Structure 1
Amino acid sequence: MNPVVRLGLKIASMPIFGVSKSYPLLRKAQEAFAPELDKDEEDDFVLLDQYLLSDDGESHVPIRVFVPKNELKNGLIIFIHGGGFVTGNVDIYTVPCARLATRTGRIVCSIDYALAPENPFPAGLEDCLEVTRELSDYFTAKNDPRLHPITIMGDSAGGNLATTVARLLREEEATGPDLQILLYPAVGNDYTDSSPFPSVQEKGESYGLTAKNMQEYYELYLPDPALLDDPRVSPLAAENFSVLPPALIATAEHDPLRDEGEYYGKVLAKAGVPAIVKRFADVPHGFFSNPRIFPDENDALLEMIKNFLDSWKCEK
């Protein structure tokens, strides 16, 4: 890893940058340091900001849609950003989502869901469910194979929400996303010294995201600590994994969430769900949202995602 990047991660891991009291500052810092589009990238896609209205017309969820100009392939990617359920927004993820759209040739719909602690669980999850349900139902009703695969994708906390949305929709309605892409997903519920996953201890102190940060994020997200065992919060606590769609899971070597993400892939495979798991070497948590700092790894990740989507075969 670049020594300057490594130093920056160590500084970011210092206790003074804890989440519980400084999350408003953390939000502002993320916005200030979010990557910007290159001029040549701005001409590669069309960006649309929309609101998805609820059935009763009383609520709406902001979404940002990226439509690639040069090549448009079958299907849609519904993207759910990370940020510990507390930070992040569609603005911060504009560059990663734009590159995702142009590199895969797919339309990308990024959800600007409600954040904790102002909107604790299950508000953000319900926003993501609402958007995904509406889009999935609309595309499925068209009965046009060109509108598939519908892929749900998320990084970190967004990966948690993505796989939870996929499971709930396919359990309740027997419809939902055709594929899921999870980038270093938060799927467990224990970030203490008693965690069953070694990476929590091995990578949980000096690589940017710390184990303590994860505990604080969940404290802000959940109105009741007992909800940690709820499968809508901790995907590994679910009873039925067989309903889930095929998965592509990417993990990062220097990430406290690494082992739980890789274990989730094994759980899916054991349940009969096709799962591809790829660990990216010498990178920390969050590398997808930092394409300028980790360009080679991002290029490799986007190529892997493109191949995963291109290999999908309609089973209907």
Structure 2
Amino acid sequence: MAGDKKAPLQSRSQAARRQFFRKMGHGLLATGALIPALHASRVSGSAPEPDCDLDVVLPGRLGNPDLTLLTDPRLNERVRTALSTPSPPGVTPVMPPQVTLESSYEESLAWVAAMEKMLEAQGTAALAMMPKFSDVVSSEETIVGVDGNKIRLFIDRPKTDGPKKRGRKLPCVVHIHGGGMSFSSAEDPSFVRWRKTLAQRGMVVVGVEFRNAGGKLGVHPFPAGLNDCASGVRWAYDNRSKLNVSSIVVAGESGGGNLAVATGIKANIEGWVKEIDGVFAMAPMILGFYSSAPPELLAWRENLGYQGTREMMRAMTRVYDPKDMHEHDPMAWPFHATAKELKGLPPHIITNYELDLIRDDGAVFAQKLTKSGVSAISRTITGAPHVPEIATPDLIPELTRDTVASLVEFAESLGR
């Protein structure tokens, strides 16, 4: 009897589902029928008339030249609150000297050094907030680079060094720190925390102490830093059995994003790209500023002055390329890479930030990658300034978790 009562209900449910899918099918067919008309409209050059009543407000300083990062309504409220908090009594923020588009190489070097000191002052707070990471084991290797120089590699991996016991390899990330290719160190607290956070999630992380174009590690213009990063990646590949890793992803943020992408291009040009399984770049600084930014990069106007200016970008460009000899060199500035130089690269994930000056550089570059046959995606984090996951990982913790998870999943998916 119970079965007899259920049967009509089941048949009615099945009938409802069939009716739903019929309606869906009709809707899809109707949508499909529009495609030829849309195609004909495109071919004929005609287009729908714009809605004259449409009210459009341009974002950022495109719509309001007086906006600042703090007054832009798109900014994440937690970030706004944190940036609006005054310094503690007796603490005077360290500010770098002013630079202009005409500042000399020496003046640009002085600005880079001051930026480094300013970030070191912030690093004290980052160190105080550093988790203990008792579940991560850290070690150090020193290798000799292609230029005969010594390169320190900082290696972090899960403490339960169980992969060999379980027979499972871990993905490897070669991390290249930010700093405009010109300043900061792999030992800075923010970068140490980022590497250990990744290791905590089950990865082997190799941090490369590459030669900067300026700052406390010495003056080493392009291609010194890139050569060191390439040496670090090749060491990881040559030692993949010892490290017991399944894949090698080159990852970096800001200037480190430049070097991560450029390492892939260098490997492609030189014939060892198969040693890299993927590239994960966050806000990559892949375009040098020599006189102007391409008109398609709206963020250079929309977000100008929020965290970066043309003058600042010119200073870092001048330090990296003192004689302006590499403006269109794809290994210095990957934005200029041709389809031939991009074809054959491994998969890329590029993360951009809505309120960042260089937001569109990465988005447009991702389009160039896909047009060249490279598997690549680009995402833009709304409401976010320049790389908050590393600069302020606890401020938007859900974003930090999501980015870490994305990198881990990406590296795991590329395992050999």
Q: Answer whether TM exceeds 0.5 for this pair.
A: yes
Deviations 1:163-209 (A, max 9, x none): 11112223323432111100110122347554321101111212x23
Q: Within 5 Å, give how 1:116-131 maps onto structure 2.
A: 116-117=213-214, 118-131=219-232
**CA–CA distance in structure 1, aligned partners of residues 221 and 269 of structure 2:** 24
Do the aligned partners of residues 31 and 310 (structure 1) sit closer, same or farther apart at CA in structure 2, a change above 3 Å counting?
A: same
Q: Within 5 Å, give how 1:226-265 maps onto structure 2.
A: 226-239=325-338, 240-265=341-366
- Whether 1:49 and 2:151 are equivalent positions in the alignment is no
**CA–CA distance in structure 1, aligned partners of residues 346 and 128 of structure 2:** 32
Q: Aligned to 1:156, which of 245, 254, 257?
A: 254
Do the aligned partners of residues 202 and 45 (structure 1) sit closer, same or farther apart at CA in structure 2, a change above 3 Å counting?
A: same
- Whether 1:95 and 2:193 are equivalent positions in the alignment is yes
Q: Which amino acid aligns with 1:109?
A: V
Contact 1:160 1:235 in 2 (8 A): yes
User: After the TM superposition, which of the residue ranges 188-197 and 277-286 deviates more from structure 2?
Assistant: 188-197
User: What residue is the counterpart of 2:401 in the other structure?
Assistant: 299
**CA–CA distance in structure 2, aligned partners of residues 40 and 286 of structure 1:** 20
Q: Aligned to 2:371, which of 270, 274, 286?
A: 270
Percent of aligned positions with the same letter in both sequences? 25
Q: Within 5 Å, give how 1:147-226 maps onto structure 2.
A: 147-174=245-272, 175-190=274-289, 193-196=292-295, 197-206=297-306, 208-226=307-325
Contact 1:113 1:128 in 2 (8 A): yes
- Whether 1:62 and 2:163 are equivalent positions in the alignment is no
User: What residue is the counterpart of 1:106 in the other structure?
Assistant: 203
**CA–CA distance in structure 2, aligned partners of residues 292 and 17 of structure 1:** 31
TM-score (norm 1): 0.87
Do the aligned partners of residues 39 and 28 (structure 1) sit closer, same or farther apart at CA in structure 2, a change above 3 Å counting?
A: closer
**Cα drift, residue 39 of structure 1:** 7.0
Deviations 1:211-237 (A, max 9, x none): 321111011111211311111111122
Q: Greater relative contact order: 1 or 2 (C-alpha under 8 angstroms, separation 6 or more)?
A: 1
**CA–CA distance in structure 1, aligned partners of residues 396 and 309 of structure 2:** 20
- The structure where strand makes up a greater share of residues is 1
Aligned-residue CA RMSD (Å): 2.8
**Cα drift, residue 292 of structure 1:** 2.8
5+ long unaligned stretches in structure 2: 1-75, 86-92, 100-106, 164-168
User: What residue is the counterpart of 2:239 in the other structure?
Assistant: 138
Contact 1:265 1:277 in 2 (8 A): yes
Contact 1:182 1:250 in 2 (8 A): yes
**CA–CA distance in structure 2, aligned partners of residues 148 and 25 of structure 1:** 40
Aligned residues: 306
Deviations 1:136-185 (A, max 9, x none): 2333xx5x996221111111111111111112223323432111100110
Q: Which amino acid aligns with 1:107?
A: V
**CA–CA distance in structure 2, aligned partners of residues 211 and 55 of structure 1:** 33
Contact 1:171 1:243 in 2 (8 A): no
Contact 2:96 2:115 in 1 (8 A): no
Contact 1:164 1:235 in 2 (8 A): yes
Contact 1:255 1:285 in 2 (8 A): yes
Q: Which amino acid aligns with 1:59?
A: N
* Largest Rg, 1 or 2: 2
Q: Aligned to 1:4, which of 56, 60, 81?
A: 81
Do the aligned partners of residues 312 and 130 (structure 1) sit closer, same or farther apart at CA in structure 2, a change above 3 Å counting?
A: closer
**Cα drift, residue 63 of structure 1:** 1.3
Deviation above 4 Å: which 4+ runs of structure 1? 14-19, 37-40, 70-73, 191-194
3-state DSSP class of the match of 2:384? Answer: strand
Do the aligned partners of residues 145 and 295 (structure 1) sit closer, same or farther apart at CA in structure 2, a change above 3 Å counting?
A: closer
**Cα drift, residue 7 of structure 1:** 4.1
**CA–CA distance in structure 2, aligned partners of residues 289 and 40 of structure 1:** 14
Q: Which amino acid aligns with 2:127?
A: E
